[in-house]
């Protein structure tokens, strides 16, 4: 059965739009295994080889037919023509809000049942993604709606088109009773923890049914770094815990024998309804069922056969899963637990209690099996994942069970539901604490390339670990030594050789799509200008620079990519005060900065126009914005960029211009107010956006231009035209997405640049 599962995967890749190398590699691996089996066992394996070919061909045919049915449907034809249509559709996913550059939009998936366009009406079934306004948030899952809009081609091969709605949805038929019941339970789960702190309020629904809509971005990143993301997504673990709890309750109630299977099946169906019938949920349900099989007699062999069956069935029903990262991770994690877990557990049992050996072996096996795929998509390898999963393991089951129980009880007695929800909140509070503390460790994750060579090398290393881990784990001295080395690597903050360079005066931190700069004012001391979008990268950068004292933090404006990392600057350091722009826009960013400053007792105020401040031999002068009282701004962040604090810095004999995100209007005003400005180093405004006053930037005659920008960002930053213009004016251009951390050194003939390389 595992071989048939591999054949099904190969068939889906060969029959669909998968990358050619992936399809050929999977097909070749399947064929090679079949040939070797034939040569070794002869005629006895002929039925197996025949089954491999049959399953591969069947899944390949299903994949091709589904792709053809989507591509040739009337909806796809109308989408190619970008036709205006009226549709009747069934909602098949919960609406969610997506933040755009100009405004927020609501997206959801529907199954179109009837489409009218170009003078014709057709009844059909076609999957479509809808993009609409806030009115679509009120549409419940399972409802039948009527709407109008313009169709466009979709990027997803599973979709017939993209509908940009031009009308509010009209609900023609309410959801069926089971959908209404599932929605009521989900709402009750949220209500049962509504009184808890924000992290707990978001984590309980995410843990129980995958409802992660309110999960804070920083906490989500911490979960990713520590290898705990599977807890916040619908996974087989969720189903195993929920259905396992139902089976225990059923046994307490006297249910026996085949009726337990009925209870288990009902639990699986209820879980799918609760977590929604999307492909990822169906995949999780099937993998969770495999996990339940592993609990019975002959669990390892039954689970391995069940895994093969699960892969075949899932790919026949939903061939698109073959190219899904979530599907690959689920299969690999389940296979790792089933294949590697028992051997590692037995090896550890030689010197550890069985319960502890199993607690270590299961997450370790799953993590090792998934590591190459995780590295291929994230570019990093977590070194704390096993320890983090081990630490949270005692809290996961009670948090899940209490969260579900709080929702169910809350339907009848809301006050009692909140009481049970409090217990669930305490449990997830521990999980959040482990994620936050684990992510803060100096080497919680190692950066790893996503190219073919890097992934191939990591795959070989993973195979070697799988082969030789058991002998090491069997010997307590070897196992404890390996664990001690890993702990030392993770906990100790090792210095970066050759970094920072001697005599550095300015450093630009690689914080992704955001700004964070440090002006060195003395040994272990520097003024920080902006803090980036996330606390961890700026904290790591300051550690690498050896900065422990920050006499001043300047926040040029209140956009998230400049202020959300402020806690990473403040935590564990001696900070003097915070200066900001006088325009409090967007208000949410301004409020967050004020709250953090109050909590840490930091004096905060607007930067005074034309004021100069000296720290040792470093002088900072405020050139912008113009003087005036505090302003609230329009509230949408549109006034923030041109209100950026612009600093003229003199340090180490160099003149530096730090421009925040000031835009052409502000740049033109600066050109008028400070004519003839001549600088050595320019911090290019707004991450190298194409909206610049090129004449002014070129007139600065900067020898070095620095661009703080995130790799593969969605904004087109930095602009090629801008970079060419700066280079043409004689500037040496450096950018964080390619150079990583950048340091400017005061050389004998002017500024010199040193780079550390991308993190």
The ranges assigned to domains in the chain are 2-71, 75-175, 181-448, 504-755
Task: Give the H/E segment covering residue 265.
Answer: helix 258-275
Q: Which two tokens stand for residue 433?
A: 């604490």
Q: What is the pLDDT of residue 342?
A: 85
Compute the mean pLDDT over every residue in the chain, rounded to the nearest whole number: 85
Lowest mean pLDDT, pick from 318-322, 410-414, 722-726, 753-757: 318-322
Q: What is the pLDDT of residue 20?
A: 46
Q: What is the pLDDT of residue 201?
A: 92
Q: What is the pLDDT of residue 303?
A: 72
Residue pLDDT, tens place only, 145-158 = 999 999 999 887 77
If one counts every other C-beta atom within 10 angstroms of the C-beta of residue 128, the result is 26
Question: Which span out of 281-285, 289-293, 515-519, 630-634 was modeled with the highest average pLDDT?
Answer: 515-519
Lowest mean pLDDT, pick from 1-10, 179-188, 273-282, 466-475: 273-282
Assign 527 a pLDDT band (cuts: 50, 70, 90): very high
Instruction: With H, G, I as helix, E, B as strand and everything else as coil, classify residue 109.
Output: strand
The C-alpha atoms of residue 588 and residue 570 are separated, in whole angstroms, by: 19
Q: What is the mean pLDDT of residues 236-265?
A: 75
Question: Which span out of 71-75, 290-294, 309-313, 597-601 was modeled with the highest average pLDDT?
Answer: 597-601
Q: Burial of 171 by CB count in 10 Å (0-12 exposed, 13-18 middle, 19+ buried)?
A: middle
Please tell me which residue, 38 or 468, carries the higher pLDDT value: 468
Q: What is the pLDDT of residue 646?
A: 96
Does residue 293 register a pLDDT over 60? no
Contact yes or no for 501/596 (Cβ under 8 A): no
Residues 6+ away with beta carbon under 8 Å from 606: 579, 580, 581, 582, 630
Place of tokens 């449907």: 73
Assign 603 a pLDDT band (cuts: 50, 70, 90): very high
Contact yes or no for 544/496 (Cβ under 8 A): yes
CA nearest neighbour of 434 among 618, 219, 238: 219
Calculate the alpha carbon distances from 89 to 112, 131, 259, 644 in Å.
Answer: 4, 14, 38, 47
Question: Cα 701 to chain center, whole Å?
Answer: 40
Q: What is the pLDDT of residue 476?
A: 92
DSSP label of 94: -
If one counts every other C-beta atom within 10 angstroms of the C-beta of residue 652, the result is 20
Contact yes or no for 623/665 (Cβ under 8 A): no
pTM comes to: 0.67
Please tell me which residue, 475 or 491, carries the higher pLDDT value: 475
Residue pLDDT, tens place only, 670-687 = 999 899 899 999 999 999
Assign 113 a pLDDT band (cuts: 50, 70, 90): very high
The C-alpha atoms of residue 337 and residue 341 are separated, in whole angstroms, by: 5
Angle between helices 279-293 and 258-275 (to 10 degrees): 150
- Overall size of the chain counted in residues: 759
Does residue 707 register a pLDDT over 90? yes
Assign 397 a pLDDT band (cuts: 50, 70, 90): confident
- Side-chain-side CA neighbours of 151 within 13 Å: the count stands at 26
**Taking the chain, what is the end-to-end CA distance rounded to the nearest angstrom?**
42
If one counts every other C-beta atom within 10 angstroms of the C-beta of residue 105, the result is 18
Lowest mean pLDDT, pick from 340-344, 736-740, 752-756: 340-344
Please tell me which residue, 493 or 76, carries the higher pLDDT value: 76
Domains 75-175 and 504-755 alike in fold: no
The C-alpha atoms of residue 113 and residue 400 are separated, in whole angstroms, by: 37
Instruction: With H, G, I as helix, E, B as strand and everything else as coil, classify residue 119.
Output: coil
Q: What is the mean pLDDT of residues 730-735?
A: 94
Express the helix, strand and coil content of the chain in percent, nearest 5 each.
55, 20, 30
Contact yes or no for 111/90 (Cβ under 8 A): yes
Q: What is the pLDDT of residue 158?
A: 79
Does residue 17 register a pLDDT over 70? no
Q: Rg of the Cα trace of the chain?
A: 29
The C-alpha atoms of residue 731 and residue 727 are separated, in whole angstroms, by: 5
Q: What is the pLDDT of residue 27?
A: 56
Q: What is the pLDDT of residue 607?
A: 93
Please tell me which residue, 731 or 389, carries the higher pLDDT value: 731
Lowest mean pLDDT, pick from 27-36, 581-590, 740-749: 27-36
Q: What is the pLDDT of residue 366?
A: 83
Q: What is the pLDDT of residue 551?
A: 96
Please tell me which residue, 451 or 656, carries the higher pLDDT value: 656
Lowest mean pLDDT, pick from 12-21, 380-389, 416-425, 622-631: 12-21
Q: What is the mean pLDDT of residues 37-60?
A: 73
Q: What is the pLDDT of residue 741?
A: 95
| The domain over range 75-175 is classified in CATH as 3.40.1410.10 | no
Q: What is the pLDDT of residue 285?
A: 67
Please tell me which residue, 434 or 20, carries the higher pLDDT value: 434
Q: What b/e sequence results for 245-267 when a residue is b if at least 16 CB atoms lie within 10 Å of its CB, and e otherwise?
A: bbbeebeeeeeeeeeeeebbeeb
Contact yes or no for 77/138 (Cβ under 8 A): no
Contact yes or no for 727/733 (Cβ under 8 A): yes
Q: What b/e sequence results for 285-304 when a residue is b if at least 16 CB atoms lie within 10 Å of its CB, and e otherwise?
A: bbbbbbbbbbeeeebeebbb
Q: What is the mean pLDDT of residues 356-377?
A: 84
Does residue 296 register a pLDDT over 90? no
CATH code, residues 504-755: 3.60.15.10
Lowest mean pLDDT, pick from 148-162, 285-299, 595-609: 285-299
Q: What is the pLDDT of residue 354?
A: 87
- Side-chain-side CA neighbours of 367 within 13 Å: the count stands at 23
The C-alpha atoms of residue 91 and residue 183 are separated, in whole angstroms, by: 14
The C-alpha atoms of residue 50 and residue 131 are separated, in whole angstroms, by: 46
Does residue 19 register a pLDDT over 50? no
Please tell me which residue, 408 or 296, carries the higher pLDDT value: 408
Q: What is the pLDDT of residue 240?
A: 67
- Side-chain-side CA neighbours of 649 within 13 Å: the count stands at 29
């Amino acid at each position: 059965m595992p071989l048939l599962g591999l054949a099904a995967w190969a068939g889906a890749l060969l029959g669909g739009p998968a990358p050619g190398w992936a399809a050929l590699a999977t097909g070749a691996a399947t064929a090679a295994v079949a040939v070797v089996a034939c040569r070794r066992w002869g005629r006895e394996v002929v039925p197996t080889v025949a089954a491999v070919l049959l399953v591969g061909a069947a899944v390949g045919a299903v994949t091709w037919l589904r792709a053809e049915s989507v591509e040739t449907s009337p909806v796809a034809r109308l989408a190619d023509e970008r036709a205006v249509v009226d549709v009747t559709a069934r909602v098949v996913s919960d609406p969610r809000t997506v933040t755009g550059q100009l405004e927020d939009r609501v997206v959801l998936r529907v199954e179109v049942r009837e489409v009218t366009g170009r003078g014709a009406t057709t009844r059909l079934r076609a999957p479509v993604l809808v993009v609409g306004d806030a009115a679509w948030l009120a549409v419940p899952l399972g409802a039948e709606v009527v709407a109008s809009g313009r169709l466009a081609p979709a990027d997803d091969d599973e979709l017939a088109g993209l509908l940009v709605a031009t009308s509010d949805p009209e609900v023609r038929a309410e959801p069926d009773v089971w959908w209404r019941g599932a929605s009521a339970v989900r709402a009750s789960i949220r209500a049962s923890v509504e009184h808890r702190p924000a992290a707990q309020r978001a984590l309980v629904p995410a843990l129980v049914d995958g409802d992660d809509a309110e999960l804070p971005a920083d906490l989500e990143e911490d979960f990713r770094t520590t290898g705990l993301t599977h807890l916040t997504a619908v996974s087989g673990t969720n189903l195993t815990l929920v259905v396992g709890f139902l089976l225990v309750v059923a046994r307490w109630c006297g249910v026996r024998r085949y009726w337990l299977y009925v209870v288990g099946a009902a639990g699986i169906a209820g879980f799918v309804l609760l977590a929604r019938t999307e492909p990822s949920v169906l995949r999780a349900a099937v993998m969770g069922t495999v996990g339940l099989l592993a609990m019975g007699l002959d669990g390892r062999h039954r689970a391995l056969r069940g895994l093969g069956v699960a892969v075949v069935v899932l790919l026949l029903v939903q061939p698109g899963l073959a190219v899904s990262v979530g599907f690959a991770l689920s299969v690999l994690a389940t296979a790792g637990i089933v294949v590697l877990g028992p051997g590692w557990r037995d090896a550890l049992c030689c010197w550890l209690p069985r319960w502890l050996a199993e607690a270590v072996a299961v997450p370790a096996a799953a993590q090792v099996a998934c590591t190459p795929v995780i590295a291929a998509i994230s570019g990093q390898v977590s070194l704390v994942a096993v320890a983090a999963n081990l630490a949270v393991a005692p809290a996961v089951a009670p948090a899940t069970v209490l969260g579900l129980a709080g929702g169910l009880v809350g339907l009848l007695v809301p006050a009692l539901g909140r009481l049970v929800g409090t217990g669930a909140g305490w449990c997830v509070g521990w999980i959040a604490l482990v994620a936050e503390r684990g992510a803060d460790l100096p080497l919680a994750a190692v950066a790893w390339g996503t190219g073919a060579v890097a992934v191939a090398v990591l795959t070989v290393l993973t195979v070697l670990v799988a082969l030789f881990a058991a002998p090491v784990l069997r010997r307590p001295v070897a196992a404890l030594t390996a664990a001690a080395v890993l702990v030392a690597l993770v906990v100790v903050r090792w210095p970066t050789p050759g970094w920072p360079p001697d005599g550095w005066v300015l450093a630009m931190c690689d914080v992704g799509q955001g700004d964070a700069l440090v002006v060195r004012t003395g040994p272990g001391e520097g003024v920080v200008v902006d803090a980036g979008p996330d606390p961890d990268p700026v904290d790591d950068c300051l550690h690498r620079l050896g900065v422990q004292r920050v006499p001043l933090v300047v926040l040029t404006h209140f956009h998230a990519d400049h202020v959300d990392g402020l806690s990473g600057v403040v935590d564990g350091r001696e900070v003097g005060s915070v200066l900001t722009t006088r325009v409090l826009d967007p208000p949410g960013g301004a409020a967050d900065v004020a709250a953090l400053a109050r909590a840490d007792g930091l004096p905060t105020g607007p930067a005074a126009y034309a004021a100069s401040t000296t720290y040792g031999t470093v002088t900072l002068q405020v050139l912008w914005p113009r003087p005036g009282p505090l302003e609230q701004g329009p509230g949408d962040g549109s006034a923030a960029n041109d209100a950026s604090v612009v600093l003229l810095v003199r340090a180490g004999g160099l003149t530096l211009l730090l421009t925040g995100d000031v835009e052409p209007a502000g740049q033109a005003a600066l050109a008028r107010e400070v004519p003839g400005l001549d600088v050595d180093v320019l911090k290019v405004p707004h991450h190298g956006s194409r909206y610049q006053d090129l004449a002014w930037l070129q007139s600065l005659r900067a020898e070095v231009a620095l661009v703080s920008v995130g790799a593969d960002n969605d904004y087109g930053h930095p602009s090629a035209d801008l970079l060419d213009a700066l280079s043409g004016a004689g500037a040496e251009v450096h950018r964080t997405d390619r150079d990583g951390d950048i340091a400017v050194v005061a050389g004998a003939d002017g500024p010199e640049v040193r780079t550390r390389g991308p993190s």
